[in-house]
Amino acid sequence: MFDHKSQIFRYFLLCFVAGVAIRSFFAVEFFILYLFGLVMSASVILFWSNKTWRYLFLGGILIALGIFRYQLSLPQTDENKIWFYSNQQVNFTGVVIKEPDIRINHTKLTIKAAELNGKQASGKVLVNVGLYPEYQYGDLISINCKLRKPEPIEDFSYDRYLAKEGIYAQCVYPKIELISQNYGNWFLAKIFKFKNKLEVIINNNLPEPPASLFAAIILGARRGIPQGLMDKFNLTGTTHLIAISGFNITIITAILMQLALIFYIPRKKSFWLITFILVIYVIIVGFPASAVRAAIMGWLVIFAMYVGRLNQSTNALILAGSVMILVNPSILRDDVGFQLSFCAVLGLIYLVPFFERWFLNLPSYLGLKESLQLTLAAQLATLPLIVYNFGRISLISPIVNLLVVPIVTYLTVIGFGVLFLSLVFSEISQYLFWPVWLLLSYVIKVIGFFAGIPGSAIDF
Q: What is the pLDDT of residues 23-76, one digit of tens each?
A: 999 988 888 999 998 999 899 888 888 888 888 999 999 999 999 999 998 888
> What pLDDT does residue 14 have?
92
> What pLDDT does residue 87 have?
87
Is the model's pLDDT at 255 over the cut of 80? no
**Measured at the alpha carbon of residue 32, what is the angle toward residues 28 and 35, in degrees to the nearest 5?**
145
Q: 142 φ, ψ to 5°?
A: -105, 130
Number of other CB atoms surrounding residue 95 within 10 Å: 19
What residue ranges define each of the domains in the chain, with the CATH number in brackets? 5-73 (no CATH), 82-180 (2.40.50), 197-455 (no CATH)
> What pLDDT does residue 309 have?
61
Residues 6+ apart with CB under 8 A from 371: 255, 258, 402, 405, 406, 409
> What pLDDT does residue 22 have?
94
H helices of 125-221, in order, are 158-163, 186-205, 210-219
Is residue 280 within a helix (H) or strand (E), and if so which, with residue range? helix 267-284
Over residues 409-427, the mean pLDDT reads 85
Per the prediction, the chain carries an average pLDDT of: 84
Is residue 175 within a helix (H) or strand (E), and if so which, with residue range? strand 175-180
> What pLDDT does residue 35 have?
92
Q: How far is CA 141 from CA 134, 170, 247, 268, in A?
A: 12, 15, 37, 49
Over residues 370-396, the mean pLDDT reads 78
Q: Which residues of 34-61 are buried (b: 16+ CB within 10 A; e: fewer)?
A: eebbeebeebbeeeeeeeeebbbbbbbb
- Flag the least confident range among 135-144, 307-316, 368-377: 307-316
129 bridge partner residues: 107
Q: What is the dihedral of CA 302, 307, 309, 314, to 10 degrees?
A: -60
> What pLDDT does residue 62 have?
93
Q: Which one has a higher pLDDT value, 286 or 25?
A: 25
Q: How confident is the model at residue 397 (pLDDT cuts 50, 70, 90)?
A: confident
